Amino acid sequence: MVVLMQRILLVVAAMTLLASAPWSAGQTAPPAEQTVDILAERFSFTPSEVKVPVGTTLTIRLTSDDTDHGFSIVGEDVNVQIPKRSRGVVTVTFTPQKAGRYTFECSHLCGAGHAFMRGVIVATEPAKDGQ
């Protein structure tokens, strides 16, 4: 009888742990994080497209391979100066709150092709279970 009671208590404890796990129904997983390195040079960003799920904290490490550049995300509170070649790395974080395309661009006049220096962060809805 004692062994049976111990097994029942063990099963109940295991079920309680599973029910409180972050992946259980109605709960979300901890926020995701992603880091990307972006190089600014000669009127382009490389890579010029970054894909992340909505709610992911995106850390962007920016460097320049030529002159001073800027980096801003249109409509968001992100705007930094990227120092010229070999003078450092600038890091920004951005967490898209809804699905869509977030355009980023050079915000520091850098030459004749400055107006073409753009890229995009594509925020997608997280995949649903079974998809």
Whether the pLDDT of residue 9 is over 80: the answer is: no
Q: Which long-range contacts (CB under 8 A, 24 or more apart) does 74-82 make?
A: 74/102, 74/103, 74/104, 74/105, 75/102, 76/102, 78/104, 79/107, 81/108, 82/40, 82/108
Could you report the per-residue pLDDT of 70-127, keeping only the tens digit for each?
Answer: 999 999 999 999 999 888 899 999 999 999 999 999 999 988 989 999 999 999 997 6
Query: pTM higher than 0.85 for the full model?
Result: no
9 vs 84, which has greater pLDDT? 84
* Domains, in order of start, for the chain: 31-124 (2.60.40.420)
Residue 15 pLDDT level (bands cut at 50, 70, 90): low
